[in-house]
């Protein structure tokens, strides 16, 4: 399971290191808006030289699209495993059109892609929108994927 920690303003430089220079001001803005004064609902983890953000909402984890040089397949499987071990639903916010094809190639038939409109109230969706500065969508697990988890629930390991 990926170890997540709450984001604070002290993490700013670490966060910026995963984004191109032109995004640094947007990263600062997002951190100041959503992570200042200890009110953050957003956590981060660094795995395989890749950063993943997460917001926990009731019995759901909302992850950000991983950013970095790590293996997207392995990282997504670890994200799924963490949610499944908790018995949580999960989804990935901040997925651009280019990243959609990366996710489809890494884990075929695992995701359906939907508009972020229904989830626009979530801090992590707003956080990602500020940083990415481009239209993004949500990736949710497909029904077939959820059923594969159900049938393999003794180990809670995704059937891949």
**Domains, the chain, with CATH or none:** 5-151 (3.40.630.30)
Write down the pLDDT at residue 9: 84
Which residue, among 141, 84, 66, 135, has the nearest Cα to 109 in the 3D structure? 141
Asked if pLDDT for residue 68 goes beyond 60, the answer is yes
What are 24-45's pLDDT values in tens digits?
Answer: 999 999 988 887 765 668 999 9
3-state secondary structure of 16: helix
The model carries a pTM of 0.84
Write down the pLDDT at residue 147: 52
Give the Cα separation of 100 and 102 in Å (integer): 5
Structure confidence at residue 144 as a pLDDT band (50, 70, 90): low
Give the Cα separation of 83 and 132 in Å (integer): 24
Give the Cα separation of 48 and 10 in Å (integer): 21
Write down the pLDDT at residue 58: 85
């Amino acid at each position: 399971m990926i170890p997540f920690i709450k984001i604070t303003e002290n993490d700013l430089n670490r966060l910026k290191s995963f984004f191109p220079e032109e995004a640094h001001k947007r990263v600062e803005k997002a951190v100041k808006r959503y992570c200042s004064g200890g009110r953050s609902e957003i956590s981060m983890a660094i795995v395989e030289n890749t950063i993943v953000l997460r917001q926990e909402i009731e019995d759901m984890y909302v992850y950000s699209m991983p950013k970095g040089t790590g293996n997207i397949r392995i990282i997504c499987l670890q994200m799924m495993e963490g949610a499944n071990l908790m018995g949580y639903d999960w989804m990935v916010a901040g997925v651009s059109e280019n990243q959609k094809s990366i996710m489809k190639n890494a884990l075929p038939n695992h995701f359906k892609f939907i508009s972020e409109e229904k989830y626009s109230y979530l801090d992590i969706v707003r956080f990602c929108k500020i940083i990415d500065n481009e239209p993004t969508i949500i990736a949710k697990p497909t029904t077939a994927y959820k059923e594969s988890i159900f049938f393999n629930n003794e180990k809670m390991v995704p059937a891949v």
